[in-house]
Amino acid sequence: MKILVINTGSSSLKFRLFDMRGLVRLASGLVERIGEARGRALLRYRTAAENRERTVERSGPITDHGRAMEEMLSLLGEAGLLAHAGELAGIGHRVVHGGEVFHRPVRIDTRVLEAIAELAPLAPLHNPVNLVGIRAAMAQAPDVPQVAVFDTAFHQTLPEHAYLYGLPYRLYEEHRVRRYGFHGTSHGFVSRQAAGFLDRPYGSLNIITLHLGNGASGAAIRGGRCVDTSMGMTPLEGLLMGTRSGDLDPAILLYLAREAGMDSDELDDLLNRQSGLRGLCGDNDMRTVIGRAEQGDGRAALALRIFCHRLKKYIGAYSAVLGRVDCLVFTGGIGENAALVREMACRDLENLGFILDRQRNLHRTEGIRPIHDDASPVRILVVPTNEELEIARQVVEVITPSEVQTS
């Protein structure tokens, strides 16, 4: 049973092909610089015969997402992984914003396409582009079931008191202003993985998940239901990120508009692309920031401290929201790899029940690993995220009738 997972950006298309019997990733790849003179398509896969990793690359003009999709299918065909699109059991599409409409993944039909388009004002940079990808895939594989998986869906269980802002209620009614949260596929996946690792029913656990990549967000999950999350109406709120500010006093924007004459586009660029680690120390990549800090660079060390202070505040806040915490999960490129960040985020939290084991924290192994001290009331885990596999799993759930799933 082959499932293709597609993540469409404005000039790129990332994809992974899975065989769901055995949950094997058959290939991953990317088509980039779509619409530019020098496009590039890349495929990585493991050859069955030699069990060797192979990379195939092509370059040339790729005029639009339809051509990108053809390129992807042709690469998969040449590698002997997919004879034709009709061989796929399903295609999963990552869609950024599902608003209040989509609480779970759905099979795509005309009504779903209209609803995703209707949500475009909430995610103007993402939803329209996601739609372009879906339409291109539907044209290439008209008979294959297509499923939309939403970044926001996992957070649709948030109670009203967690998703409403302290703004006039009519802004929620008239303009849908509320917290939606993002990275939902990852928060859902790693929290379920953690429950499996701990061999406890998902519904019995209170879990804090920290997804720390270029974007970063936290979630408080009670008995398998998300009850709070740090990203808001857009992915800008909450933790400090590579280039995004995270939380700040909204009056700063008014001040900058008044005093520095900045307009909304300039403020957008400032908050989303020039802030965070980059704004504080000039680098947005955590590896570089840590490297510089270790060489004695004061500004990089400060950026790192601010990043970890913000993490600590959210761990504390979500401990209070949940009342009892069973497990803290670190994931994403930073969460999975930066031992120093985990150590700084958990430092001095012993009284709240978070006791890290320094050696375990430094020790790197594949897969899920516990990094807490044996005496720690809260289990602290590093759980590698795999959003694409989770999307593929959700596609199977949607396209398989429930009587087959349970048999």
Structure tokens at 69: 């999709």
At position 325, the amino acid (one-letter code) is V
Nearer to ligand ADP, 210 or 398 (CB): 210
* Dist CA 354 CA 380 (whole Å): 7
Structure tokens at 360: 């375990």
By CB under 6 A, is residue 332 in contact with ligand ADP?
yes
Which span (36-44, 159-167, 208-216, 390-398) binds ligand ADP, by CB under 6 A? 208-216
CB of 70 to ligand ADP, least distance (A): 26
Site string for ligand ADP, 229-258 (x = CB under 6 A): -------------x----------------
* Dist CA 329 CA 345 (whole Å): 12
* Dist CA 319 CA 332 (whole Å): 21
By CB under 6 A, is residue 214 in contact with ligand ADP?
yes
Backbone angles phi, psi at 195, to 5 degrees: -60, -40
Nearer to ligand ADP, 84 or 309 (CB): 309
- Told to judge if 151 belongs to the known catalytic residues of this protein, a careful annotator would answer yes
Nearer to ligand ADP, 12 or 337 (CB): 337
Nearer to ligand ADP, 222 or 342 (CB): 342
Nearer to ligand ADP, 218 or 332 (CB): 332
Q: What is the CB neighbour count within 10 angstroms for residue 280? A: 20
At position 201, the amino acid (one-letter code) is P
**Which single residue brings its beta carbon nearest to ligand ADP?**
333
Nearer to ligand ADP, 74 or 243 (CB): 243
Nearer to ligand ADP, 102 or 330 (CB): 330
Runs of H (alpha helix) within 141-168: 160-163
* Dist CA 104 CA 407 (whole Å): 22
Q: Cα dist. 16→13, 21, 73, 264, 383 in Å? A: 10, 15, 11, 37, 20
Which span (23-31, 63-71, 286-294, 392-400) binds ligand ADP, by CB under 6 A? 286-294
- The partner residues of 39 in beta bridges, in order of sequence, read 60
At position 281, the amino acid (one-letter code) is C
CB of 110 to ligand ADP, least distance (A): 32
* Dist CA 228 CA 219 (whole Å): 6
Q: How many CA atoms lie within 13 A of 66 on its CB side?
A: 5
In the set 90, 184, 215, 232, which binds ligand ADP (CB under 6 A)? 215
Which span (9-17, 19-27, 36-44, 210-218) binds ligand ADP, by CB under 6 A? 210-218
Catalytic residue among 19, 64, 143, 151: 151
In the set 287, 309, 324, 358, which binds ligand ADP (CB under 6 A)? 287
Kindly state the number of chain residues that form the binding site for ligand ADP, as judged by CB under 6 A.
13
Q: Are strands 90-95 and 206-212 parallel, antiparallel or unpaired?
A: unpaired
Which span (59-67, 283-291, 293-301, 399-407) binds ligand ADP, by CB under 6 A? 283-291
CB of 204 to ligand ADP, least distance (A): 29
At position 182, the amino acid (one-letter code) is F
* Dist CA 364 CA 46 (whole Å): 24
Q: Cα dist. 80→5, 312, 346 in Å? A: 18, 48, 47
CB of 293 to ligand ADP, least distance (A): 11
Which span (131-139, 293-301, 328-336, 392-400) binds ligand ADP, by CB under 6 A? 328-336
At position 243, the amino acid (one-letter code) is T
Per CB under 6 A, contacts with ligand ADP among 104-163 are none
At position 17, the amino acid (one-letter code) is L
Active site residues: 151
Give the residues lining the site for ligand ADP (CB under 6 A).
Answer: 213-215, 242, 285-287, 290, 332-334, 337-338
